Structures are given as structure tokens and as C-alpha cells.
Structure 1
Amino acid sequence: MTDFITSTEIDAAADFIRARTRYRPEVGLILGSGLNSLADTIESPDVIPTGDIPNWPKSTVPGHVGRLVIGQLEERAVLVLQGRTHFYEGYGLDRVTLPIRVMARLGIGALIVTNAAGGLNPAYEPGDLMLIRDHLNFPGMAGNNPLRGPNDDTFGVRFPDMTKPYDAELRALAHRVAADAGFTLHEGVYAYVGGPSFETPAELRFLQLVGGDAVGMSTAPEVVVARHAGLRVLGISTIANPALPDPTPGTVLTHDEVLEMGLRAVPRLIQVVRGVVRG
């Protein structure tokens, strides 16, 4: 049988973090590609390099810093993860999602997960924000589910319900925060693909056909594990580029462009996150 992450490994990581912060975070935030500046808004932080944490997966992707920033945001204790890992980096999904298990062990009750995504919906433009209403977990449906292996009953049941993966009340609050700030948020379905190659035109047409509004290479496994552990989840995609099956001739997408385009949305993303944390 394949080796899977154990409770002992999860607890060792959680104990290491507890011993190095004065805070007891209530909310967890995961920052996607190009969104690291959000961590700069955290007040009086304790900073922990993730490379120091026992059993923690190391990110190898440009734009993912690799540290925890734990401190105050809108008078609430938060834990910000700068630098997630991905399935395509070679880790098993139980290792990719270990940070979510650790957050649950630390007593975090809500997760805000962000990502940079391609816009499948032709109405979306680079710099737009999309609240994730639901997702299409293609690797998960093909058998690469992060809950594969022995179930840890201390987190949740063997067959967790996923009819409402993204919290409707948190989405409604995010919409109100954006409206008060003078801008609107899209809301749609996030299609999770394994990567790291970008999608072919035929794959993009398929994703549109089955209802995807944005496409990316993260988030869904984290959300599955978060819901298994009973965390409330708000997902926000920054639309970094059009992901349309018939691009302008000569168009070539690079990861650097994804990072650059994602920066356009950062001020509005920070407003939304702060407003939601404030409640």
C-alpha cells in the first residue's frame, strides 16, 4: 500500500507552529500565484519559513514564497500561507493538502483560498475577481482525490458531503464588501486540472462545454480536505489571462505573464479579504 500522511506527521507540524507564534489563528488564507503582497497587510506578524516545519511540502514554483505569516488582520488572528504546493510538482495530494490538515489542528474554522486562473468565460477580463461557487475536480474524479487512503476520523467522515463546498454566506458577504467599495465580483465554477502544461484549445472547449468559468491548477484538493475537516470555505480566483480556445494568432502564454496580470487585482482582492475577515 502507498504511504500516506499520518496524524503523527500532522500533529508534529501543528506543534512546531504553536511553539513559534503567540497567536491562535481563527482564519486561514492561502495565497495564489502573484498574490503574496496580501501578506504585507498582516499586523505584528510571526513569520515561519515553511522549510523549517516538519513534514511540510516545499513549493518549487516561482511566485510562491514558502512561509507562514501569522498575525492580526482586522483585529482577528489569521494564518497566511505564502507558497502552496501543487500535484504537478510530484507530491501526493495528501502531502499537498497537509497545510489544511494542520490549519484544522490549530483550531482554524474558516479558510479563504485564492488563486490565479485563466478566464474560460468570455465575459471575464484579466484583473477581474471571481468568487468560486463550485468546482470541477478533474484529477479527483479520475481517482486522484486527496482523501484517498485511510480515513482519519478525527477530521471527518469517510464520505464527506460536497454539495456545498463554498460557503454561501461568505460569498454573500464578499459581494457586499465589493459593492460598498464600488466594484463587482463575478461568481462561477472553477475547473481544476493537474498541469503543469497549459490547456490545449480542445481541452478549453471541453471545459467551457461542461460549465467551467475559470481554470487553474490548485484549490480544489485544498477545498475537499477543508470541507472534510468542517472548515467554512471562501474561494476567490483572480483572472490572470483569457483561457479561450481560439486565441489571437501568435499568442503564447507564460507563467510570468500570469503573475504580472494577477497583480492588477491585488488591491481589490485585499479589500474583499479584509472585509470578509472583518465580518
Structure 2
Amino acid sequence: MCQKHETPLHPSFVPYRLAASYIREQLQSSTTEAQLPVLGIICGSGLSGLSSALTNTTMIPYESIPGFPKKCTVMGHKGEIVFGLLSGVPCVCFRGRFHWYEGHPMNTVVLPVHVMRSLGVKVLIVTNAAGGLNGKFNVGDIVNIMDHFALPMLGGMNPLVGPNDDELGPRFPPTSNAYDSNFQNLVLEASSNLGLSDFVRTNGMYCFVSGPQYESKAECKFLLQAGGDAVGMSTVPEIVAAHHCGIKIMCLSLITNKVVMPYDGDDDGEKSNHASHEEVLDAVNKRSEQVQGLVKEIARLLEHDGVLKGLPDLPPINLDVGRVMISQESSISGNDVSIVPNEKKTRAASFCPFHIMKGILNAPAHCVVMGGAMITIGALFGATMGRRK
């Protein structure tokens, strides 16, 4: 059993611990005797059908989990967790993700990742529906992502900003090694086994934008010139969080539409190419069976080739939240603290707008100017970027 920390737990570290504790209890009482997962899957827009490949399943709706948002607001995201076996591998499938553009703070966007880490997941397969920047890619192509470009994160919209949870990972993690080249070889083997090689692409670079608006033509041109192959409104925060806490990552982007570039033709021609969420879901539906088969074969190879067994178990996370000091009226980074047992609530200073304004008014003028400039730059990076899920 993990030894308790002597220092208090920061309030922002509480939600995922509460959620993981609840989920463990539900799995222990499940009639299907669900195993703790070693493989995790996050389903992109319209890709919730991936969970149908699991056997011996246990389902937990998001709305029942302490610390979780009550529902997903985006069409194509179901809002439930499914546990079961995928090709014999204990697996957890998150049917629906949380997006920053929905108004969630970043620690909520990556909440599923931290829950998976607390449950013992070693490998995470992140899927998404994305726009195609690379002119050689076609709608329906499945791209294995091996790098990313995230302008909003350079502007400060990052899940690692704030106090660092040392139980999850280091304060300053590298990102150059976030994607494992061995996994790319595994994706190639899986696609070859299934006869899908004609539309499975490798060495892709995913560009993360904040959304919810789709990208302008100038933004698409900029991202393409930066080396981008696909663009969307999710995934990178989850990858950064997973890499930070030691989970191995595999990322698959399904190209659902080609983005509009400045040289694509006259106005009338461009109107028919405008992106829409309905177009995204339609493209996903046409390729969902192949995506499901590919992920299932990847899971089989992870087990058959001994990859999962070769990965060391990650250190257990201490899920005790009795170490935290929370006032009953305060909130945890956008989450309802009524989920914390009353006997574990004690008075603490809350992070409120009054205290922020007081700090600004008492700060030296040059600090206010510099801080305002950084906020403005960050806002511009976030606001000018489009989106996809």
C-alpha cells in the first residue's frame, strides 16, 4: 500500500483521485468481474463504436462518476466508460472526450488520462477525427501520428500549467520522445495483416487548435507550411498528459475532410468544401468498421508480441484525498466539490476573482503590463485557431 504524503494535496489533484476510487469500487462489485485495464482507448468523434469490440464488458456512465462532467455536449461523444477485454487484453474505452472549447479547464480535458493512469493503464490509443492538411491524404485515410504542433499550448493553454502532481510525473517533462517509433511499426504490421495498407498513413503530424470554429484558409496554409498533416481540436492535451505520467502512446487520426486552402478555387467552389460537423460524422461512419478492426488487431499484437508484458508497472497512485484542505463553498478547477465527503472538508483559501484583482492592483505597473501582454498573446493564439475533434 502506498504511504501517505506528509504535505497536503493540492485541490486540483483531487478530481481524478475521487473518480478513480469510485471506478475501482464499481469494478470490484461488478458481476462481470472486470479486470483493471492495461490498455486505454479514447474515442474520437463518432468513433464510440470501438467499444463494441470489447467482450465481458462493464459500463459506467460519466454522470455517475464523482469529479466528472455530467455529460459530453458534442454530438458523436457518448459519455460513458466501457471496461472489458479487447483481443484478450484488459481494456478501458472512454466513449467521449472533454474539449477545451466546451468551457472545461485543462485539468478536466485530461481527466480521463489521469484516471487511466490511476487504474494501471500502460498503453493509450488516442483516436480522433481530423481535417486533412496534407494534399496527398484522402478522406477516409487513417494516419498514425508521430509528432504534433500545438500553437495554443505555446500560448499557455497547457494541461501541465499549475502545481505539478509529483506522483504523476516530473515538473519539466520532455516531449520529443512522446511518440514511440516501435508502435508505428506495429501499426504497419496490423494494417498489413488486415489488408488496410492502402489507406493507412505513417509519420503524420497533428496540429492542435482550440476551436470551436473551423480553421480559416490562412490558418490552414500556415499549419501546412509548419509541416502539419492533420488538424483538430483535441488529442494533444491528452498526449502531453499521458506522456507526463509515463503512459506509452499511440495516436490514430481519421481524415474526415480536406481543409480549404487559399488556392482551392473561386468562392463558389469553396462553398461546397466548407467543413461541418455533419460531414465529419458521415466520414467516420463510412470508415468506422476498418478503424475498429485496426485497433482490435493492434491490441492483439500488443499482447501476442509481448509488448504489454515487457512494459514495467507504473508506480501506484495514492488515491487518498483526506490530505486536501477544501472549503465547502469553493470549487476544484471547475468541478463540484460537493463530491468530497463532509468530514474531509476543511477551510482553505480559494482562488477567486476578488483575490486576482487585488493582486493585480497591488502589483508593480510593469508586472501588470507584462502579464496583460502574455494573456493577450495566449488569447490570440487560442482564438485564431479552428477546430476538429
TM range (shorter): over 0.9
Q: Give the TM-score, by structure 2 length.
A: 0.69
* One-letter amino acid of the counterpart of residue 181, structure 1: L
* 2:118 is the alignment partner of 1:105: yes
Q: Deviations over 1:94-151 (max 9, x none)?
A: 1110110110000111100000000000111111100001001111111111000000
* One-letter amino acid of the counterpart of residue 278, structure 1: R
CA contact (8 A) 2:129 2:256 kept: yes
TM-superposed CA distance for 1:5, in Å, is: 5.8
CA contact (8 A) 2:260 2:270 kept: no
Matches within 5 A, 1:107-186: 107-184=120-197, 185-186=200-201
* 2:14 is the alignment partner of 1:20: no
Q: Deviations over 1:70-97 (max 9, x none)?
A: 0011011100000101000001111110
Matches within 5 A, 1:127-276: 127-184=140-197, 185-187=200-202, 188-246=204-262, 247=264, 248-251=269-272, 252-276=274-298
Distance 1:142 1:186 in 2: 30
Distance 1:72 1:234 in 2: 19
Distance 1:231 1:59 in 2: 24
* 2:66 is the alignment partner of 1:54: yes
**Counterpart secondary structure, 1:265:** helix
* Higher percent of residues as helix: 2
* Residue 323 (structure 2) aligns with: none
**Counterpart secondary structure, 2:228:** coil
Distance 2:256 2:214 in 1: 13
* One-letter amino acid of the counterpart of residue 18, structure 1: R
Name which one, 1 or 2, has greater alpha-carbon Rg: 2
* One-letter amino acid of the counterpart of residue 106, structure 1: L
Distance 2:102 2:121 in 1: 27
TM-superposed CA distance for 1:170, in Å, is: 1.4
Distance 1:5 1:131 in 2: 36
Distance 1:26 1:177 in 2: 19
CA contact (8 A) 2:53 2:296 kept: no
* One-letter amino acid of the counterpart of residue 278, structure 2: D
Q: Quote the RMSD (CA, aligned, Å).
A: 1.2
TM-superposed CA distance for 1:265, in Å, is: 2.1
- Equivalent residue pairs, number: 276
Distance 1:178 1:108 in 2: 24
TM-superposed CA distance for 1:250, in Å, is: 2.1
Distance 1:99 1:253 in 2: 28
* Higher percent of residues as strand: 1
Matches within 5 A, 1:82-93: 82-93=95-106
Q: Give the TM-score, by structure 1 length.
A: 0.96
* One-letter amino acid of the counterpart of residue 55, structure 1: G
TM-superposed CA distance for 1:24, in Å, is: 0.6
* One-letter amino acid of the counterpart of residue 159, structure 2: P
CA contact (8 A) 2:101 2:211 kept: yes
Distance 1:5 1:40 in 2: 36
Distance 2:153 2:232 in 1: 14
Alignment CA distance shift 1:169-1:99 (3 Å) = same
Unaligned runs of 5+ in 1: none
Unaligned runs of 5+ in 2: 1-9, 28-33, 302-389
TM-superposed CA distance for 1:277, in Å, is: 1.0
Distance 1:249 1:160 in 2: 42
